[in-house]
């Protein structure tokens, strides 16, 4: 405005008569109003157009990232929230369903002295009435479990069930109307897909930490603490205390349970999570039964590879080292020294192949096997037993 008046109050206009001065003043006033209206309208139009364009572009980008099948975050609600990326929405929505877990363990130091040691991890609320899934190693040997909710409230928790084989556990708190995470489909994951890890690295002081990365691999068969696990690999930062926390896709769905990381000098960005599709049936059984029912043959197995087969002149397969007395295999006539070649028509040459075949059945099922013994092959039907019962007797 100062520039405009300075420009109109030009020295040339001062030398004219009063009539000209009034006429010029009137014309100037009219021009001023017109210019102000035009400039104001233009700025308003440009500002509105830019805002609409930004919202439209953001919405379009959001739709492309999330995909047409999204049920959690859509163009409409992300625009309303005003977030720049879906990660912000994930932090707000899924983060409220990720809790801290404190494991208080009583350790005996002597005949008269006991000590309480504390460990910490994370968990995911999977139902609004208080069921929480976490890792078995997070709650193992606990004399007391305390859940720290987002916001800091501490609530005692009860153990519902645990399964050391899959490193999964379910605990429960006595609370209602809790925010529950939505479980996704880990079978649809692709290498390179963006994911978000939420948990409490290094304890409750860093509760609710959010990191992001990509899926580095969808299937890693690793042995951790003597357990064979099928895991998702990610470069999203996972640290001690993150165990039991959520690995989330851009739809805001939990597709993995953060479990471990590769450590060592020069190693960086190698974390692992249990695929949620592997966890779902285990979680269901833990809630329903308190344990996981698995079929068992009642044998101790050994893998016979090609080198062993050539050296001892036997076929490649699964060797039977020991047979549990009165167990399913014993009752079916399997003896130490037998080599299992097939299970229900499927060749088995490795221990993990044998295990995967058995996991297709349940205790009580009759399974047909081809067994090699002293140069001959036999067809044997075995009625599978309950793992927990077979190996506890």
Cβ-contact 274, 167 below 8 angstroms: yes
Q: Can you read off the two tokens belonging to residue 155?
A: 């609530």
Q: Which two tokens stand for residue 68?
A: 């047409």
**Is 76 in contact with 96 (CB distance < 8 Å)?**
no
Classify burial at 99, counting beta carbons within 10 Å of its beta carbon; exposed 0-12, middle 13-18, buried 19 or more: buried
Q: How far is 259 from 164, CA to CA, in rounded Å?
A: 13
Q: How far lies 309's CA from each of 46, 250, 321, in Å?
A: 79, 49, 15
Helix (H, G, I), strand (E, B) or coil at 65: helix
Pairing of strands 299-304, 295-296: unpaired
Sorted by sequence, the CB contacts under 8 Å of residue 360 that are 6+ apart come out as 344
Give counts: helices (H), strands (E), the chain.
10, 21
107, 116 contact by CB (below 8 A): yes
Question: Residue 337: which of 369, 307, 373 has the closest Cα?
Answer: 373
Full DSSP string of 122-137: EEEE-STTSEEEEEHH
The strand pairing partners of 199, in sequence order, are 209
Secondary structure (3-state) at 6: helix
Q: Are 223 and 237 in contact (CB under 8 A)?
A: no
Q: Which residue has the tokens 């357990």?
A: 227
Known catalytic residues are 137, 167, 243
CA distance 265 to 263: 7
d(CA 212, CA 367): 45
């Amino acid at each position: 405005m100062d520039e405009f008046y300075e420009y109109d109050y030009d020295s040339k206009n001062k030398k004219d008569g009063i009539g000209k001065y009034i006429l010029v003043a009137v014309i100037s006033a009219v021009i001023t109003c017109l210019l102000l209206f035009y400039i104001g309208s233009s700025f308003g139009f440009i500002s509105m157009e830019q805002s609409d364009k930004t919202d439209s572009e953001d919405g379009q980008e959001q739709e492309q990232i999330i995909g047409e099948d999204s049920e959690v975050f859509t163009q409409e609600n992300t625009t309303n929230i005003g977030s720049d990326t879906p990660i912000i929405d994930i932090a707000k929505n899924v983060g409220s369903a990720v809790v801290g877990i404190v494991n208080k363990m009583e350790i005996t130091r002597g005949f008269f002295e006991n000590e309480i040691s504390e460990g910490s991890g994370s968990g995911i609320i999977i139902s609004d009435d208080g069921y929480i899934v976490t890792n078995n190693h997070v709650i193992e040997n606990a004399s007391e479990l305390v859940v720290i909710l987002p916001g800091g409230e501490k609530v005692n928790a009860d153990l519902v069930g645990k399964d050391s084989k899959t490193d999964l556990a379910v605990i429960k708190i006595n609370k209602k109307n809790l925010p529950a995470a939505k479980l996704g489909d880990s079978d649809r994951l692709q290498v390179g897909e963006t994911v978000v890890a939420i948990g409490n690295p290094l304890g409750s002081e860093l509760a609710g930490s959010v990191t992001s990365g990509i899926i580095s691999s969808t299937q890693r068969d690793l042995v951790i603490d003597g357990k064979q696990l099928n895991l998702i690999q990610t470069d999203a930062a996972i640290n001690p205390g993150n165990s039991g926390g959520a690995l989330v896709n851009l739809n805001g769905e939990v597709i993995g349970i953060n479990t471990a990381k590769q450590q060592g000098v020069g190693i960086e960005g190698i974390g692992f999570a249990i695929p949620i599709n592997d966890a779902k049936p285990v979680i269901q059984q833990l809630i329903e039964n308190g344990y996981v029912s698995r079929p068992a043959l009642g044998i101790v197995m050994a893998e016979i590879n090609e080198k062993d087969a050539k050296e001892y002149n036997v076929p490649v397969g699964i060797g039977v080292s020991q047979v549990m007395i009165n167990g399913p295999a014993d009752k079916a006539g399997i003896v130490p020294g037998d080599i299992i070649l097939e299970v229900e028509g499927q060749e088995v040459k490795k221990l993990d192949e044998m295990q995967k075949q058995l996991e297709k059945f349940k205790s009580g099922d009759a399974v047909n096997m081809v067994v090699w013994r002293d140069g001959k092959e036999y067809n044997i039907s075995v009625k599978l037993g309950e793992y927990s019962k077979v190996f506890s007797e």
